[in-house]
Structure 1
């Protein structure tokens, strides 16, 4: 691998890679059971507004007013919001791997993620992503969402790297394919071991001895 093609930066999704998905279909189904909500009605409203919500154009309160609190409920918005936040679990093996690779190879780490602002802020703060992430190219900040290829173009400009110097890791194969179309190397993340092997194939061999 020549100097130009050396990997200097990782682009990472949050949900499905570093953490669990924040507010996916399964989480919404759990909320419907807990709060006795009509699933088809909730899902219909969710899909009408969610892209706008993830692009940072409406607040969480506005989203909840449209999807859940459009009529009187027996629970509060604060209770429902707390439930949403509680759905996130870390993927500690991936967090540890990225942290170690950053140190071993001097990598820049950028998050490229579709997330709403309040949930994004909560997840960054709660799981201390600032400890190893250098840039956040989140849909709620830049008002673009994957699969729009412009989110990757903007990420390259912000990180000041060439496409061939980047590996993008995401659990959605379509998003990986779009990034690859711009010359970015891609990994469809399905589990820790396969991602570890694919990173090694790109020259990012993990050295267990570096960090104690």
Structure 2
């Protein structure tokens, strides 16, 4: 029996356009991220470097970027928070049948944008018993360490835990640790379909 549900944030609740940042980067001469930039992005997502340091890596290397144009490009992935997803979550919280935990790979720039542009963010956050953002806890998916951290911090039994994420690689790691998973197909499935899609677990 499932007692705890771990939810991802982006493309589970918050709608993303994952191609948008790449388009902005190409407009500024970045056709693909080299190994250095990939590692910088990961470090920023883990909160290991500051937002100023992160921005400078791009503005110093690519002439087309000012700090503001880079931040606009970086945040262009973030779109909207559909109301029906929040209503689903609020009903889930009110029922008190599960411990609810958010587990998201994110960063300070993205969360600052969400706080400024998504009016329901605080209401959303308060629906969760625990709220883990990668840049605050210094772990990121798909590393096993982030799941082990959450399991240990909350004394969870993997067999009684369900993880919902739109990225296959993340769900595969969780599955290896014995956690039940739903690889949600963004654009084809909705988090509000949870109990029909995973009816075998409830």
Bin for the TM-score computed over the shorter chain: 0.7 to 0.9
Equivalent residue number for residue 182 of structure 1: 177
Compared CA separation, residues 72 and 175, structure 1 to 2 (3 A): closer
Per-residue CA deviations over 1:73-129 (Å, capped at 9, x if unaligned) read 4x6423432453354123523333222222224322211121123323543673413
TM-score, normalization by structure 1: 0.76
Q: 2:137 aligns with which of 136, 142, 146?
A: 142
CA distance in 1, matches of 2:112, 2:14: 13
TM-score, normalization by structure 2: 0.80
Per-residue CA deviations over 1:152-199 (Å, capped at 9, x if unaligned) read 111122333221221100011221122122221110101117544224
Equivalent residue number for residue 128 of structure 2: 133
Gaps of 5+ in 2: none
Native 8 Å contact 1:124 1:130 kept in 2: no
Native 8 Å contact 1:176 1:187 kept in 2: yes
CA distance in 2, matches of 1:180, 1:106: 23
Equivalent residue number for residue 68 of structure 2: 78
1:28 is aligned to 2:21? yes
Cα deviation for residue 17 of structure 1 reads 1.0
**What is the alpha-carbon root mean square deviation over aligned residues?**
2.6
How many residues end up aligned between the 2 structures? Answer: 192
1:102 is aligned to 2:93? yes
Equivalent residue number for residue 66 of structure 1: 57
Equivalent residue number for residue 202 of structure 1: 201
Compared CA separation, residues 121 and 202, structure 1 to 2 (3 A): farther
CA distance in 2, matches of 1:19, 1:90: 6
Native 8 Å contact 1:173 1:188 kept in 2: yes
CA distance in 2, matches of 1:107, 1:194: 16
Structure 2 counterparts to residues 105-120 of structure 1, below 5 A: 105-120=96-111
Structure with the greater alpha carbon radius of gyration? 1
Equivalent residue number for residue 206 of structure 1: none
